[in-house]
Amino acid sequence: MKTVVYIRVSTVGQNEAGQRTEIERWLIGNGIDPVSVAWFIDRETGDNLDRPDFGRLQAAVFAGEVKTVVVWKLDRLSRSLRDGIDTLCDWLSRGVRLVSVTQQLDFAGPAGKMIAAVLFAVAEMEQQTRRERQAAGIAVAKTQGKYKGRKQGTTKKDPSRAGALRQQGLKDSEIAQALGVTRRTVQRYLNG
């Protein structure tokens, strides 16, 4: 497992096909068979690093099994400046190369770290700006009586299904993926 691919989409409903297509094109262009690489795919937020496949990727990096990590865009790795920089610096210190195919950047060396710092900062700023716009829109809709939010006590899916999946031995992240909800929602179903 020398070259690996990391893909992240923000929600279960999103499709990673666009990222996969660009990454496969890059792999083939660099003489790497896409079938021969390990693919790590998460359907989680980029706000933190608590993602199942990212954890498996980190374990492979720590074990010395990874030489190159290929991402579609740097913000797929993290939307947090600190998490992104810490991860990148750790990987580089271990001799791991990080490549962003759409940004056409290889983040090795001091210049790569500097460029990555700027891109992680932009990703974090975009995330915060999006949340601010959403909160402002909700506030206006509430004053106009158009937004009431989800009714207290309503659920997106059947909470008993989460319990049944837990009894089958599934982890929170696996239950979340099966139900199409977040891990936090699964935990609320199981504890509520």
pLDDT digits (tens, 9 = 90+) for 56-80: 999 999 999 999 999 998 888 887 8
**Closest to 101 (Cα-Cα) out of 77, 127, 84, 137:** 77
Answer yes or no: do 186 and 105 share one domain.
no
Q: Are strands 38-43 and 3-9 parallel, antiparallel or unpaired?
A: parallel
What letter represents residue 149's amino acid? G
Q: What does the pLDDT read at residue 67?
A: 93
Answer whether residue 52 is part of any domain: yes
Integer angstrom CA distances of residue 98 from 5, 157, 189, 190? 10, 38, 38, 38
Grade residue 40 by pLDDT with cuts at 50, 70 and 90.
Answer: very high
190: domain range? 144-192
The domain tally of the chain equals: 2
Grade residue 34 by pLDDT with cuts at 50, 70 and 90.
Answer: very high
Answer yes or no: do 76 and 168 share one domain.
no
How far is Cα 58 from Cα 120, in angstroms, rounded to an integer? 19
**Closest to 34 (Cα-Cα) out of 79, 3, 68:** 3
**Domain's final residue, options 121, 153, 176:** 121
Answer yes or no: do 77 and 171 share one domain.
no
Alpha carbon 161 to its chain's center: 25
Helices (H), the chain: 17-29, 52-62, 81-93, 109-143, 159-167, 172-179, 183-191
Please name the residue that has the structure tokens 């290929």.
70
Answer whether residue 99 is part of any domain: yes
Answer yes or no: do 88 and 45 share one domain.
yes
Whole-angstrom Cα Rg for the chain = 19
Q: Looking at residue 180, which CATH number applies to its domain?
A: 1.10.10
Q: What does the pLDDT read at residue 42?
A: 92
What letter represents residue 47's amino acid? D
Answer whether residue 128 is part of any domain: no
Answer yes or no: do 61 and 101 share one domain.
yes
Answer yes or no: do 108 and 156 share one domain.
no
Answer yes or no: do 57 and 115 share one domain.
yes
Tell whether the model's pLDDT for residue 124 goes beyond 80: no
